Amino acid sequence: MEKKNRVSFLKFLIFELVTMIILVLISKLLESIAGGLLYTTGHKALTSGDIPFLFTCWQGWVIIIISFFVLLFYTLFDVNAVIIMSDNELNNKGKSMWAVIKEAFASIRFFGHPTGVFLVIYISLLAPLCGAGAGISLTEGFAMPDFIMLVIRKNTLIYVFYIIGMIALLIFGIVHTFIFHVIVLEKKKSKDAFPKALNLFKHNVGPFLGNYILIILKIALILAIVFVCAFIIPFAIISATGNGTDVAHYFYIAFSVAGLVAVSVAYMLIKPIFILDVTKLYRRFNTKEEMGPEASKEDVKRAVAAFPTVKVTPGKGFWIVMAIALGVVFIISGPMTPYFDKLFTRQASTKVIAHRGAGDLAPENSVESIGYAKVTLGAAGSEIDVQRTADGKYVINHDATFQRTCGVDKTPADVTLAEAKEFKIRNDAQIGGAPGTVASLEDIYDEAKKCGAIILVELKGVSADDKMAEDAYQMAKEKGVLDQCVFFSLKYDILDKLETNHPDAKTSYCCFVLEGDFSSLNVDILGLEEQIATPENISKTLDAGKEVAVWTCNSLNSIMKFASYDVSYVITDNVKVAADYVKLMGSDSEAVTVLRGLCSLLNLL
């Protein structure tokens, strides 16, 4: 007789909450140690501009090691612990939650080899990058920064190698799906687990791929059902019965919070359910492997059937907890009703800034792009890239050379401004196909004054220094456009000096790494690469009295997310879509406004 064992959602939910708390405590402890070490070097915050510094002192190397251990601990508890928990339930071993956690922590000893280090880096960074698996909760949204992807896509050969690399990483992940199961359940060192994991895949390719696809489809279906039942159906009913009333606002808020609770619970359960299903496959394939090739299919089936069957169900306790939570939600929604318009903003104050002039819709960094972005596309302004020429003037060009945009293999430092202005910028965009004109900084300021565009003046490249910052500031002041300018750079020191000498200059430090005390940064705006523009970083920046600019937001998903979060500036190549979206936000129905806000919040979370 087949043995059956039912496991409640609540058991996995409690397990996930406990391990989450443990991870937060460990992370905060390690973060405090790293912060203390950073402080001893004279730095209060760590930004992308400080990355080279990490390799020049012992504190920097210790911080790098601490960062790795954070990833390792997340691997132990997000992956290893859930595998042990799944094996415990599948085989009815009766281990307590704390015994499972202790065993997961003890598995750290199997990752001391370079292959173990690679696996931690793979599951933490490379797996989410190539879409090979669940990864760890800390980095599950990790993706290649858009500004790097722009560079990759511009070069066909590099882009081909990138695609090949991502496919190779994806195949590696699929082929070695059971590597952590072998390490944790068979207590093998990482370097010894690879052959076994590879054999389990090779000997069961067909059944594995078929079952793996079914697992993914099941999870997608669960999430879709939860989203439809939690948001779409309730909001459709509320919208049909009337908008604009306090009653409608109460139910929008109540169902929004209840839906967020439901989605959060589903989200917390997805990974355990996924790993449980994969562990079932591992148990089945491993049994077949241990029985050897001489075993018949019937013998393998009988051996697998002898294991207890585990079914994950909601259970009475889960429904009681959810009912209590729902009751609390509907109680607290009453006092929140008067704040409906603040909770769900219908009109964004976010300013759309066209990347490199007018994004993809005009010749890059050209004079023509400034007015086109402002007047025709509806952007608030443009971001431009300033470099110094051989005669000490300032030309607008992004790359180290003019090769990509003008077909001239010379750097700005190789030519005078007059010579640079003879070059024509190729036009792959929409302004009649005519080539653009290479601009000077003075040209851009004149055009900005004429059309009223905000200009994010990025002090760019090897020539970006204190003199460039001072000259750009003084020229803006003389031209009467200082109040339209934001001085933007990856080099903090020159912005710090500019802000100190000229408090009336609006400065923005552009970074793709950000940790520590944000308030210590002497700038008005923090320009966050979209991967680090998390709710926590945005809130900390605002709390420090600074504005937020997010770059480079090219997908509609990113534009929606940050416009709804109401950051000050969104820098994008997808200018028309972004400007139209921000403009149309005020004309949405209440149901669409609420759904849009919730989708943005879920994306941020």
Per-block average pLDDT, block size 10, for the chain (605 residues)? 67 92 93 89 77 87 94 95 92 90 95 95 92 80 78 86 95 94 95 94 93 92 90 85 82 88 89 91 88 76 73 85 91 88 74 92 92 94 97 95 93 96 83 77 96 96 95 97 96 95 96 80 93 86 92 85 84 92 74 71 55
Pairwise CA distance, residues 111 & 182, whole Å: 13
Q: Which pLDDT does position 4 carry in this prediction? A: 59
DSSP letter, residue 24? H
CB 538 within 8 A of CB 528: yes
Q: Which pLDDT does position 1 carry in this prediction? A: 42
Q: Which pLDDT does position 586 carry in this prediction? A: 65
Pairwise CA distance, residues 529 & 552, whole Å: 7
Pairwise CA distance, residues 433 & 362, whole Å: 9
CB 459 within 8 A of CB 472: yes
Superfamily of domain 351-587: Phosphatidylinositol (PI) phosphodiesterase (3.20.20.190)
Residue ranges of the chain assigned to CATH 3.20.20.190: 351-587
Q: Which pLDDT does position 393 carry in this prediction? A: 96
Q: Which pLDDT does position 2 carry in this prediction? A: 47
Q: State the pTM of this model.
A: 0.83
Residue 115, C-beta contacts closer than 8 angstroms, at least 6 positions apart: 190, 191, 194
